[in-house]
Every structure is written in structure tokens, then in C-alpha cells.
């Protein structure tokens, strides 16, 4: 009898969770559609819809068009139930998005910084979080959680940053240092970017995706069979540290000749400084010079593009993805490098793999990772509720 009662409660919880997730997936849905989609009885659906309304998780969003009979009420997630913050901690800036419970973007913010020491960056993160909420009048109580994409390797529990070479961080417990009374979730920024593309960008309905995050370093987020692939020790996708020049320049990771030493934003700035002596130029300024057809800048861009294509070809040969998306500010010069990049990739990729892949530049600007982190937090909240 006791076992039967437990099974009934589990079934009840499962049915309620299915309905909530279906409302989330469909965005706007009627009871009739829920009944047909989930194979549940009309009474069961009606019961849980009423409970979810009472809990403020969903709300009525109008009436469906008439199809000849009685018109159905439509339901959606309550966007104001709670909010999530998705942050992308880059080497030189913080990018943030505020999502409502439906997953719609309510606000964006970006702040540049210089000092990379964790003791300097953590206070900036805390200020960033509180300012973004205050500016958009979101009460602290309404914040469901914070997700932070970081340019480094996490421990197995995704709670500590083991190594972030381009920040110079080792064994940093970022959630503990932030000391916020809200859940804080971490993920590698390239993995977060891949999820952002799947949810908001060109990666929708793509089962096998490689997201190449090009910033001051290079990361790669992998979607395999529609799921994020993190590897045995959560260390997959560190293609930025594959060797492209065996006797090449040293990398912050301790190796020599790494891909990111030759194909990242930092690589472009280093090469430009070597050519011109200008060590103060920023990457956006460098891109502007490329658009202005500055000879030195365009030469450097073509060199960086050549190395970028070389590395992407290796990713394609090894993983056979359906789509490769290049993210980062480099997307702003797509017209200047697309053809030469594609040529480099084609020359170095197996014919069958090349024929089956689409190369795209992200349309999300520099927000892919922040959007992905906001989505991760929303999923955690849904899991906790169901």
C-alpha cells in the first residue's frame, strides 16, 4: 500500500512536470493541445493547469482562434515568476543578459575592465550584477540564479575554476568569493556559447555543432546528438591549445605553438604591434583599420584567418559536425575573410566532411555565452520545480 502511494505521487509529480515543460517548449498552448501532446486525460491536464496557475508559474494568455467549436484558453509561462542573469566573464570585459522566466531577454549590459586578478574581478562582478538588476528595477527576491561562463577549465563538479590561463587564475572558487545568497552556476564560456546558439541563434535544431569562440583566446563548445559534450573530466573542447606550430611561440597554458597563439584576438594585436610598433591598439580599433583597408591590419587579418581556417579544418576532420559557428568580434569582419577562410578549410578538410558542414558566423554578437548561461540557470530552476 505504501509503495503504491509512492508510485502514485511520483506519477503525479511527473505529469505536472511534463505539463510545465510542454508549456515552456510550446510557449503558448491550450489544454487541448497539452492533452494531445502528452497523452494525458482532460481532467489531469485541467487539474495541473489550475495548480500551476495558483503557483504563479503559468498564466492565461488569451483565447485560441475558433475552429468551429468552443474556443480554448491559451497558457504560457509567467515571465515575471523569476529572472535569471547570464554572464560571460571574458578576459577584458563582462557581458550580461537578464532573462525572464519564459527565456526572453529583458536587458543587456557590458562593462570593460583591465585588472585580471580574481580579487579585482570579483568586486566588479558583484557591482555588475547589482547595477543591472537595479537599473531595470528587478527586486533581488525575484532573481532565481546567476550563471557565469568562464574562459577556463572547471573541476568535475563545475564549482571551482581549475585553470583559466588567459586570466591567470588557478583553483578559484568563484561562487564562494561572490558570497551571494543566490545559486551561482559555472560553465566553460565556449560550452555556454554553444548552448546560446542552440537556444537563440543559428544552432536551433542542429544535432552536431561546433561553436568556435574567438576572443583573447580560443575555445570550442560541442553539441553532439543534440547534447552538450563535456568529456570525461569536463575538459572537452580545448582546441585552442592544440598545437599548430610545433616550435612556435609559448602559450599561457605552458605549451608552445597553440592554435590560440596564432588565431585569436590577442594574436592579431601582437602581430599588428610587431608590424607597426603600436601596442596600445584595441581589437575593435584593429577591426576598424581592417574595414578602412589599412595595409598592415589587412595583412595581419589574413594571417590570423589562415590559422583560424587551419584549426577549424582539424575540428571538422575530427568531429564531422553538421555546422561550425564562429563567435566573437571577428564576426564583424566576415565579409573580409569569409572566402579566404572557406578556401583554407576546404584545402585541409576531408572531402566528405567538408561537403556535409555549414560554416556560419554568429549573429548573436558577443552575447552567445551570456545567453547560454541564462538558459542553464532557467533549466536548473525548472528542474528544481519539477
For position 3, what pLDDT does the model report?
43
Given a cut of 60, whether residue 5 has pLDDT beyond it is: no
Distance CA 279, CA 112 (A): 18
Residues 126 and 73 grouped into a single domain: no
Per-residue pLDDT reduced to its tens digit, 80-138: 999 999 999 999 999 999 999 999 999 999 999 988 999 999 999 999 999 999 999 99
Distance CA 81, CA 58 (A): 8
For position 6, what pLDDT does the model report?
43
- Per-residue pLDDT band for 9 (boundaries 50, 70, 90) equals low
For position 203, what pLDDT does the model report?
96
For position 4, what pLDDT does the model report?
45
Per-residue pLDDT reduced to its tens digit, 364-380: 999 999 999 999 999 99
- CA distances from residue 369 to 219, 324, 328 in whole angstroms, order as listed: 11, 16, 10
Residues 285 and 212 grouped into a single domain: yes
What average pLDDT does this structure show over 379-385? 90
> Percent of the chain, pLDDT > 90?
86
Q: Which of 58, 77, 96 is the last residue of a domain?
A: 77
For position 331, what pLDDT does the model report?
95
Closest CA to 13 of 383, 379, 384, 386: 386
CATH classification at residue 134 = 3.30.420.40
Distance CA 67, CA 57 (A): 28
More confident position, 343 or 383:
343
Residues 68 and 158 grouped into a single domain: no
Per-residue pLDDT reduced to its tens digit, 288-324: 999 999 999 999 999 999 999 999 999 999 999 999 9
For position 383, what pLDDT does the model report?
87
Residues 157 and 176 grouped into a single domain: yes
Q: Which of 48, 77, 106 is the last residue of a domain?
A: 77
- CA distances from residue 321 to 285, 338, 339 in whole angstroms, order as listed: 33, 19, 20
Given a cut of 90, whether residue 72 has pLDDT beyond it is: no
Distance CA 325, CA 211 (A): 5
Q: What domain count does the chain have? A: 3
Residues 116 and 189 grouped into a single domain: yes
Distance CA 310, CA 302 (A): 12
| Burial (CB count <10 Å: 0-12, 13-18, 19+), residue 19 | buried
For position 1, what pLDDT does the model report?
47
pTM of the model: 0.92
Q: Cell triple for residue 229? A: 559534450
Given a cut of 70, whether residue 358 has pLDDT beyond it is: yes
Residues 62 and 97 grouped into a single domain: no
Neighbour-count burial for 48-72, b at 16+ CB within 10 Å, e otherwise: bbeebeeeebbeeeeeeeeeeeeeb
Residues 281 and 301 grouped into a single domain: yes
Range of 122's domain? 83-193+369-385
What average pLDDT does this structure show over 254-279? 96
CATH classification at residue 37 = 1.10.10.10
Cβ neighbours of 15 (radius 10 Å) = 17
Q: Which of 77, 92, 108 is the last residue of a domain?
A: 77
Query: What are the two backbone dihedrals, phi and then psi, of residue 163, each rounded to the nearest 5 degrees?
Result: -160, 120
- The rounded Cα 216 to chain-centroid distance in angstroms is 17
Amino acid at each position: 500500500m505504501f509503495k503504491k502511494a509512492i508510485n502514485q505521487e511520483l506519477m503525479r509529480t511527473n505529469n505536472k512536470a511534463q505539463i510545465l515543460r510542454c508549456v515552456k517548449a510550446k510557449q503558448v498552448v491550450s489544454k487541448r493541445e497539452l492533452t494531445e501532446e502528452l497523452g494525458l486525460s482532460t481532467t489531469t491536464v485541467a487539474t495541473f493547469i489550475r495548480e500551476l496557475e495558483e503557483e504563479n508559474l503559468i498564466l492565461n494568455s488569451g483565447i485560441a482562434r475558433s475552429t468551429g467549436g468552443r474556443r480554448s484558453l491559451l497558457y504560457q509561462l509567467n515571465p515575471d515568476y523569476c529572472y535569471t542573469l547570464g554572464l560571460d566573464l571574458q578576459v577584458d570585459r563582462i557581458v550580461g543578459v537578464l532573462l525572464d522566466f519564459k527565456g526572453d531577454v529583458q536587458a543587456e549590459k557590458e562593462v570593460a575592465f583591465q585588472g585580471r586578478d580574481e580579487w579585482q574581478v570579483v568586486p566588479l562582478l558583484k557591482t555588475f550584477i547589482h547595477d543591472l538588476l537595479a537599473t531595470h528595477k528587478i527586486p533581488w527576491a525575484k532573481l532565481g540564479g546567476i550563471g557565469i561562463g568562464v574562459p577556463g577549465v572547471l573541476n568535475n563538479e563545475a564549482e571551482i575554476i581549475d585553470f583559466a590561463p588567459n586570466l591567470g587564475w588557478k583553483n578559484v572558487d568563484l561562487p564562494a568569493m561572490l558570497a551571494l545568497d543566490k545559486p551561482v552556476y559555472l560553465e566553460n564560456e565556449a560550452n555556454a556559447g554553444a548552448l546560446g546558439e542552440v537556444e537563440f541563434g543559428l544552432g536551433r535544431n542542429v544535432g552536431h555543432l561546433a561553436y568556435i569562440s574567438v576572443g583573447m583566446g580560443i575555445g570550442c563548445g560541442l553539441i553532439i546528438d543534440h547534447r552538450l559534450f563535456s568529456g570525461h573530466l569536463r575538459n572537452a573542447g580545448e582546441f585552442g591549445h592544440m598545437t599548430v606550430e610545433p616550435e612556435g611561440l609559448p602559450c599561457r597554458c605552458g605549451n608552445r605553438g597553440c592554435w590560440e597563439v596564432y588565431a585569436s584576438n590577442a594574436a592579431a594585436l601582437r602581430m599588428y604591434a610587431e608590424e607597426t610598433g603600436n601596442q596600445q591598439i584595441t581589437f575593435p580599433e584593429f577591426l576598424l583599420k581592417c574595414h578602412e583597408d589599412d595595409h598592415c591590419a589587412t595583412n595581419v587579418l589574413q594571417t590570423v584567418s589562415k590559422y583560424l581556417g587551419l584549426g577549424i579544418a582539424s575540428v571538422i576532420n575530427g568531429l564531422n559536425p553538421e555546422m561550425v559557428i564562429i563567435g566573437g568580434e571577428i564576426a564583424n569582419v566576415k565579409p573580409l575573410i569569409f572566402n579566404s577562410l572557406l578556401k583554407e578549410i576546404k584545402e585541409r578538410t576531408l572531402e566528405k566532411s567538408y561537403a556535409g558542414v555549414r560554416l556560419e558566423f554568429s549573429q548573436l554578437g558577443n552575447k552567445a555565452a551570456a545567453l547560454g548561461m541564462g538558459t542553464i540557470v532557467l533549466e536548473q530552476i525548472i528542474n528544481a520545480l519539477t
